[in-house]
Chains A and B, each alone.
Chain A
Amino acid sequence: AQTVTQSQPEMSVQEAETVTLSCTYDTSENNYYLFWYKQPPSRQMILVIRQEAYKQQNATENRFSVNFQKAAKSFSLKISDSQLGDTAMYFCAFMREGGSEKLVFGKGTKLTVNP
């Protein structure tokens, strides 16, 4: 069974600075997908970024980028130029390849961006 571990329950960062959230996972699969979801106080889950395991290039979405280390089974999220609206719970998630597979979530990291 796959597991996802987020070792930082809470983190804080000053506005405009950069922060990195950690995620490790365990799987015997070779092809899979990794995600970071954001859950702000509204509790709406928002997809932040997605990475296919077969791609060596790290995914980026504007101020969000990942450092995907397949051999180390590590998938960290870097947020640059942090904004107050980035304050949220961030969940790392794993999905097997195959279409319509279930997501396995980590326990989440609560990120607070301070003015």
Chain B
Amino acid sequence: GAVVSQHPSWVICKSGTSVKIECRSLDFQATTMFWYRQFPKQSLMLMATSNEGSKATYEQGVEKDKFLINHASLTLSTLTVTSAHPEDSSFYICSAAPLAGVRDTQYFGPGTRLTVL
């Protein structure tokens, strides 16, 4: 149980294009999903918190117009990197907090490696 998927697992795109990453909770409903960014050999950095049906809350220093987050349902959140540049290349990870059951635990997706050329 408590499986979170991400799609795609990796993506390569040209500078200036937009990329959408999906995060799905497969066997539970999630009130809240979180988006993290991780650079090599570093810890996870929280980018934003996403609640179903409402606007995402972004961490300080994260450009909301560049990293668009949509949480359309209790099982799906998407992160769109708009006008991507090489410095946006990173590993993006989502997590989901269950609506019921063990609510104070987050379950993580397998991550998406983004490379911007």
A residues at B contact (CB < 8 Å)? 33, 35, 37, 42-47, 50, 91, 95, 97-103, 105-108
Given A99-B97, A102-B34, also A91-B43 (CB < 8 A): yes
Given A43-B111, A44-B110, A47-B107, also A100-B43 (CB < 8 A): no
Q: Pick out which of these stretches binds chain A: B12-20, B72-80, B98-106.
A: B98-106
Contact, CB under 8 Å: A45 / B43: no
Knowing that A103-B44, A103-B46, A107-B43 touch, tell me 20 more A-B residue pairs with CB under 8 angstroms: A33-B104, A33-B105, A43-B93, A44-B111, A45-B44, A47-B107, A95-B104, A98-B104, A99-B97, A99-B103, A99-B104, A100-B31, A100-B103, A101-B104, A102-B34, A102-B46, A103-B34, A103-B106, A108-B42, A108-B43
Interface footprint category on B: 20 to 34
B25: chain A residues within 8 A (beta carbon): none
A97: chain B residues within 8 A (beta carbon): 104
CB closest chain-A residue, reference B110: A44
Instruction: Please list 20 pairs of residues, one from A and one from B, whose beta carbons are closer than 8 Å in the complex, sorted by A's number.
Output: A33-B105, A35-B105, A43-B38, A44-B110, A45-B93, A45-B95, A45-B108, A50-B105, A95-B104, A97-B104, A99-B31, A99-B97, A99-B103, A99-B104, A100-B97, A100-B103, A103-B34, A103-B44, A103-B46, A105-B44
A46: chain B residues within 8 A (beta carbon): 108
Q: How far is the CA of A105 from the CA of B43 in the complex (A)?
A: 7
